[in-house]
């Protein structure tokens, strides 16, 4: 089981992982603990996201992937889903200009085929507008499930084999990975989950094979730069062997 690190555990390190992924968990429990509606927890979660994107860029992280809305989240009550979609609309409309001005590139992973046209347009706009940016890449996992992504990749590979683009005897791990939603993005070095829960919840299952996992007790709305720095410092203390004997350092 992965270690747990408190947000105030360490001083910042100047060496950072290239790719950090975050399961932003605990909005509802944060609100409940304060006697507030769940929607307020989600709104405060957006503020935490703004802080984290800014801090990741300042710390030198190259890729930040956030689990914003899972394929399973559609089973939540309709009012909560409507609130979440409203926050997505506000985030794109209000924050996209700032992200673009700060040279952040936005990428979207997840199933898009069954999304409502207005949501799809927002996601497409975020990607197209920031496509040429060269700073931090913000990968938004929306309507995303890792098992679903693997199935999509298998179908893409099967079609490529049927079309003669890939030979059947060339099917290997490294070839399969190129059929995932964002094959050009490196696997996450570090995955952080907030709220104290210790599971991946169908997030980046293929890509996380050798990721370091860190679980913090902080609910997502309270996550800040200090929490990110502490997690990065814990990551730097890990020895990453990737199945070998000798630790591989650097990111």
Residues serving a catalytic function are 25, 73
Residue 74: half-sphere exposure toward Cβ, Cα within 13 Å: 10
Contact between 46 and 24 (Cβ < 8 Å): no
The count of residues in the chain is: 251
Here the tokens at position 26 are 């605990």
Residue closest to 90 by CA, chosen among 57, 114, 56, 119: 119
Instruction: Describe the chain by its helix, strand, coil percentages, rounded to 5.
Output: 45, 15, 40
Q: Where are the alpha helices (DSSP H) in 163-246?
A: 173-177, 225-237
Alpha-carbon separation of residue 174 from 171, 177, 180 (angstroms): 8, 5, 11
Backbone dihedral angles phi then psi of residue 19, each to the nearest 5 degrees: -130, 120
Write the CB contacts of 41 (distance below 8 Å, at least 6 apart in sequence): 26, 27, 28, 29, 30, 31, 32, 219, 221
Placement of tokens 């952080």 in the chain:
192
Contact between 187 and 210 (Cβ < 8 Å): yes
How far is it, in rounded angstroms, from Cα 238 to Cα 186? 19
Write the CB contacts of 172 (distance below 8 Å, at least 6 apart in sequence): none
């Amino acid at each position: 089981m992965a270690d747990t690190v408190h947000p105030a555990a360490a001083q910042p390190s100047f060496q950072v992982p290239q790719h950090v992924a975050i399961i932003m968990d605990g909005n509802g429990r944060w609100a409940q603990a304060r006697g507030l509606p769940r929607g307020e927890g989600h709104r405060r979660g957006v503020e935490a996201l703004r802080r984290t994107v800014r801090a990741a860029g300042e710390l030198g992280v190259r890729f930040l992937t956030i689990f914003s809305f899972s394929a399973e989240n559609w089973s939540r009550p309709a009012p909560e889903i409507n609130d979440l979609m409203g926050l997505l609309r506000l985030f794109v409309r209000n924050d996209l200009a700032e992200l673009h001005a700060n040279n952040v590139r936005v990428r979207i992973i997840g199933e898009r085929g069954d999304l409502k046209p207005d949501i799809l347009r927002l996601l497409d706009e975020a990607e197209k507008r920031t496509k040429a940016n060269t700073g931090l890449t913000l990968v938004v996992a929306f309507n995303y499930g890792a098992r679903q992504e693997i199935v999509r990749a298998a179908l893409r590979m099967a079609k490529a084999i049927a079309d003669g683009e890939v030979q059947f005897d060339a099917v290997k791990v490294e070839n399969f990975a190129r059929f995932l939603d964002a094959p050009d993005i490196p696997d996450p070095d570090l995955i952080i989950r907030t709220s104290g829960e210790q599971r991946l919840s169908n997030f980046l299952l293929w890509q996380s094979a050798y990721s370091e996992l860190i679980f913090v007790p902080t609910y997502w709305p309270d996550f800040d730069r200090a929490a990110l720095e502490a997690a990065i410092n814990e990551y730097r203390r890990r020895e990453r062997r990737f199945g070998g004997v000798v630790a591989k350092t650097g990111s």
